[in-house]
Chains A and B, each alone.
Chain A
Amino acid sequence: MLGKTAGGLFWMFRYLERAENTARMIDAGLRISLTRSSAADSEWTAILSSTGLAQAYKDSHGAANGPAVIDFLLRDPNNPGSIMAGIEAARVNARVVRTALTREVWEAVNECYMVLKRLLAQPVEDRDLPRVLQIIRQRSAFVRGALHGSMVRNDMYNFGRIGTFFERADNTARILDQKYYILLPSVRLVGSASDNVQWDTILRATSTTRAYQTLHEGETDPMAIARFLILDGRLPRSLAFCYRKIGENLGYLAEEYNTRHESHALSDALCNQFKTQDMNAIFDYGLHEFISDFLHDSAALGRQIEIDYRFSE
């Protein structure tokens, strides 16, 4: 398998995951602006920060306001981080790695692109927004379904999966990085109405509200939310889950190629901290510091995977 193809698969699934995550965040922001319009603008700013696009937005649009942020995140042709740009980038990568994909996966990506190109040709009206966001999530799910149902479990599949979980963990970590202060144990004692909304937003931005409620019997507790998103191995968007999957997929590659690389050591170290640390230890160390370390270490892992598997020259 070509190194370029491995890189193409990794990025194709990163871009798809990112577009899906951005859609979730818009959904969460929309919810806040519907229920608590006074807090909305700062919420949109936080969302822009989690996507890493705050500066780009500020440079082109100035102050954050709902409709402008939504259009910017959805489809602004000048925003390379928009959902539309992400889907286009995923499709370009899919074309590059076309020979590594089944026809089902290719068609799902291509159709996702064709549908969104049409839906996002013009600014989306407020009343259409929930439906458009739903279609984005659904189209992304179709690609995932085609992947699971039609691809052989070999190195091609593994690189695609690593891309997915890498991006997903990154996304969850960035949301936590933006909101860590409302999850600190000290906040628990205050527990104002505003905090409740913030907690709700975190869950909504990761599409985990329902899962959290089920597992925690309706009790909203910031420490439990932090534990849920960082350490709970049952939640497919938690850092622990994503890194277990990255570790497994790297493990399959080591088996198939009969070679372990530097990236295996880095991944093991990341996985281990989720196994050995509990929430109290993380809070003692500092939640913010923990997340920062994680983002730093995972970026290093990403670079190392690229080198070990020769994505580029």
Chain B
Amino acid sequence: MMVPYGNLLLLAFTLFLMGAVCAVARRNLLMILIGVEIMLNAAGMAFVGASLKWQLLDGQAFVLFIFAVAASEVAIGLALIVYSRRRTGSVDADHYNLMKG
């Protein structure tokens, strides 16, 4: 017997909130991407815990797809960051004001 299921969910939820706060509060584009990675990781943790609670393997299968999505997302995201830095010379989100928004 291990810890209650609520403790695991609370841990995953706290990590998700940390990632969300990082993605909202930081202005460096790389840190925003890191926040998204933390959020995806926390979601996977909740899936694995639910898979253990109900003794079904579907949760673990979904974590595999979350991994695939995270890998392609980070590849595209980093390529976009390099591309935008080549155009504007900065990775600060405040400097992307080409449309004067």
Chains A and B bind each other: no
Residues on B close to A: CB < 8 A? Answer: none
Residues on A close to B: CB < 8 A? Answer: none
